[in-house]
Amino acid sequence: MRIFSDLIGNDDIKNTLGGAISRNEFSHAYIIEGEDGSGKSTVARLASAAIMCQNRDTLPCKVCPSCKKILNDSCVDVRFYDAFKVDDVRKIKEAIYQSATESDYQIFILNDAHKMTVQAQNALLLSLEEPPKNVVFFLLCKDATLLLETIRSRAVLLRTTPLTKEQILRYADMHVDTGLPNDTLDKLATLSRGSLGYFKDMLDSGKSDALIKSRETALLFVCGMLNLDTGSANLVYSMFSWQRDRVKEIFNLSLLALRDLAVVKRSRGTPLCFFVSYDEASTLASRYSLKKILKLIDAITIGIDNFAVNASVAGVLTSILASCE
Ligand SMILES: [Zn+2]
């Protein structure tokens, strides 16, 4: 039997959850923990379809009427909630005790479950303790430790794992007609830091060209700040007249580049999040001391914090320049 064949990576989830569904021995509640864009909703959707699939050779088969509805988000028995408040949980509790309309199961998928108030979590608890038959919960969250221990103890915890760059590029190759050159895809896949959702956003938003340009600007900015030569000074001075959001974007990308430069000085095992190759990052990193790299990381981080309290672009850039002298 093939299970979750559309799910990339995440073998643990395939084995644990997929295996349980294929044996019809699944739990009534799962917590799916992982970063934004790491596939939590995809897992919940695929699992819902697999639970209700009318074929049993491939789970979910994606072609039976039940799979089609669930994967199109048009099945009334699979409901998504943003459960933050007691009132929302009350709606969920009311729905639980109505029987499924068109399926054997009722499935409740709670997005951002970690944002639920303590009162809301307590209100949900009873439903998790004594769920009506044929009800399944998927609580999606960034950090399961933000959920009450009493909630965690009543659900099976699953964790989505970041994908490798190769897995993301293979996905692009098989499923997306991007029309983008390979080196651009390579850069975007690196910047996505293992998140297929983030990678798809970059392609869908049509902003991939602008992002690649910003990436190049960030690289110039980083080299400029580390070298402090005349050419780079020109770029920094031109940034004085930029909008705050534009500068912030360059800062955030610069932090990724600097993080890679610091990483390659220590080990070769950690995945990079800016440079497409270790050699490129190592060659650049070898020109600067780790102390200098870390100092610039601190200065840019402080600059981003100062933007949050409305500091001016000129003020922030002046401070960073001063700290690099
Ligand atoms: Zn099916």
Domains and CATH numbers, the chain: 2-159 (3.40.50.300), 207-324 (1.20.272)
Q: Look-up: residue for tokens 């840019």?
A: 300
Helix orientation angle between 313-324 and 244-266, rounded to the nearest 10 degrees: 30
162 Cα to the center of ligand 1, angstroms = 27
51 Cα to the center of ligand 1, angstroms = 9
154 Cα to the center of ligand 1, angstroms = 28
What whole-number distance in Å separates Cα of residue 303 and Cα of residue 308?
Answer: 9
297 Cα to the center of ligand 1, angstroms = 50
Where helices occur in 205-312 by DSSP H, the ranges are: 208-227, 230-239, 244-266, 278-285, 290-308
- Band of residue 100 on the pLDDT scale cut at 50, 70, 90: low
Q: b/e string for 173-202 if b means 16 or more Cβ within 10 A?
A: eeeeeeebeeebbbbbbbbbbbbbbbbbeb
What whole-number distance in Å separates Cα of residue 302 and Cα of residue 103?
Answer: 54
122 contacts 86 by C-beta, under 8 angstroms: no
Predicted confidence (pLDDT) per residue in 200-258, tens digit? 888 887 789 999 999 999 999 999 888 866 667 788 889 999 999 999 999 999 999 99
67 Cα to the center of ligand 1, angstroms = 4
58 Cα to the center of ligand 1, angstroms = 8
**pLDDT at residue 57 tops 80:** yes
155 contacts 139 by C-beta, under 8 angstroms: yes
103 Cα to the center of ligand 1, angstroms = 12
Nearest residue to 31 (alpha-carbon basis) of 112, 118, 85: 112
Instruction: Specify the pLDDT at position 231.
Output: 66
> Whole-model pTM?
0.79
12 Cα to the center of ligand 1, angstroms = 22
Predicted confidence (pLDDT) per residue in 1-32, tens digit? 788 888 888 999 999 999 999 999 999 999 99
23 Cα to the center of ligand 1, angstroms = 16
Q: CA-based angle 77:82:63, to the nearest 5?
A: 35
1 Cα to the center of ligand 1, angstroms = 13
- CA distances in angstroms from 80 to 31, 74, 88, 118, listed in the order given: 14, 11, 11, 20
What whole-number distance in Å separates Cα of residue 104 and Cα of residue 22?
Answer: 16
320 Cα to the center of ligand 1, angstroms = 57
66 Cα to the center of ligand 1, angstroms = 6
The enclosing H or E element of 65 equals helix 65-71
